[in-house]
Chains A and B, each alone.
Chain A
Amino acid sequence: MDPLQRLRDLAVSESGFVFDPYSGQTYSLNPSGQVALEAVRRGEGPEAVAEALRLRFEVDPGQDLARDVAEFLRALREQGWPAPGAEGP
């Protein structure tokens, strides 16, 4: 099965509760995680994921958004999900 399709088939509630209908696994996402996941589900790369977060939230100028996004994508990959930037930040 197309891994990206499996990612798109995740059931995500407004509160950030995520259900994987293939495995039965459940996850919880905070609001920024939800926005990041939505971008990944659209097939976006790390920069576009960061841009989606920048558009949705106020980002402190001192915050290393690229690093936070890379960490999120790495957490996705560790759970077995396809995520861009497999070579790491």
Chain B
Amino acid sequence: MSTRPLTVAVTGLNATDNPAPGVGVIRSLRDAPGFRGRIVGLAYDALDSGLYARDIGLDAGWLIPYPSQGVEALRERLRFIHAARPIDVLVPTLDSELPGFIELEPELREWGIRMFLPTREQLELRQKSRLADLGARAGLEVPASKALSDVSELYRIQAEIPYPLMVKGVFYGAVLARSPDEAAAAFHATAARWGLPVIAQRWHAGEEYDVVAVGDGRGGMVGAVPMKKLLLSDKGKGWAGVAVRDPNLLEAARRFFAATSWRGPCELEILRTAEGRYLLIEVNPRFPAWSYLAAGAGQNLPWAVVQLALGDSLAPLPDFRAGTLFVRISLDQIATLAELQALTTGGLSRLEEHLP
């Protein structure tokens, strides 16, 4: 276990009713008894609410360019931030930023910034459009899916995928469509936001479970905590959930890691049908927003990822406590104009506040 003082940078600080994972990852790190470091928040907007969450103890906050601005812009911004506040470990938490960080990983390592990320090949293998390949490789049942680049395909798809079906974006978003017209509207909205292809996926009745897990990059599973959502927001996001111990869910995660040698965190979305079948419906290549439940249940997976990024040897993680719940809250945080100004014009540092 590392005892060095560390600086860990975490992205994804937008914590709305569709929250990014960053705040949960940071809270997990703050809870880790072995972590004594500083945490830097990397945000995309000066009003990303995690920047103002005093209880997570951000030591500094910086804005970084959106992934659409390209890798060069990200490299230059990270160079600037790293010069001002050297970073030891960086934990990206958003799907859309992963390709850029994976491309920069060798260079960042030379600078002294470590990450624990999947490879580009692993990232592509879990794409929604390749779910059938992944299922066959891992021995996991998956729902029929088809990648669409033309909306007219939705009017001919019934033979392959009957209605109702799910319309999914390449990065985010899932809409249940009961007819071709509903699907077409969802197709256009999804394509406008996330681009093409749009994924049509067979809908099955059942209970959805999610598993936050970390792969060691050699086919092994570092840890995993399955969760059942108990309450959904109007965007379908889990607003409350409970850790569960279904051995079939943990076995599915093990198979995924064995088949892919996945390196880093991920979230598996698994449907248990009324007949007791387990269908892998999606793999998200990063921590989910509810990662803090894993730490609260006894398995601090974000801290494990930081240790793995550092190359530290990792003791087997303790078992988690099934029945541990999370219940999300929405609250108003008070901030100062000086904070907003600092974030907008340069970077926010709270280190001064820690001085005697």
Decide if A23 touches B244 in the complex (CB within 8 Å).
Answer: yes
Please state if A22 and B245 are interface contacts (CB–CB under 8 Å). yes
**Contact for B247 among A1, A11, A23, CB less than 8 A:** A1
Which residues of A are found within 8 Å of B209, using beta-carbon distances? 24
- B-facing residues in A1-30 (Cβ within 8 Å): 1, 11, 19, 21-25
Q: How far is the CA of A22 from the CA of B242 in the complex (A)?
A: 10
Indicate which residue in A1, A11, A21, A24 contacts B230 across the interface (CB closer than 8 Å): A24
Known contacts A11-B323, A19-B323, A24 near B228 by CB under 8 Å: yes
B150 within 8 A of A: no
> Does B181 belong to the interface (CB within 8 Å)?
no
Total interface residues on A, using CB and 8 Å?
8
Distance of B99 from chain A, by nearest CB (Å): 34
**When A and B form their complex, what is the total count of cross-chain residue pairs whose Cβ atoms lie within 8 Å?**
24
Task: Tell yes or no: B207 within 8 A of A by CB.
Answer: yes
Task: Decide if B259 is an interface residue (CB 8 Å cutoff).
Answer: no
Nearest CB of A to B213, in Å: 17
B133 at the interface (CB under 8 A from A): no
Closest A residue, CB atoms, query B242: A24
What is the bound-complex CA distance between A11 and B230, given in angstroms?
17
In order of increasing CB-CB distance, the 3 nearest A-B pairs are: A24-B228, A21-B322, A24-B244
Known: A21-B323, A22-B246. 18 other contacts (CB 8 A): A1-B247, A11-B323, A19-B323, A21-B322, A22-B244, A22-B245, A23-B207, A23-B244, A23-B246, A23-B272, A24-B209, A24-B227, A24-B228, A24-B230, A24-B241, A24-B242, A24-B244, A25-B228
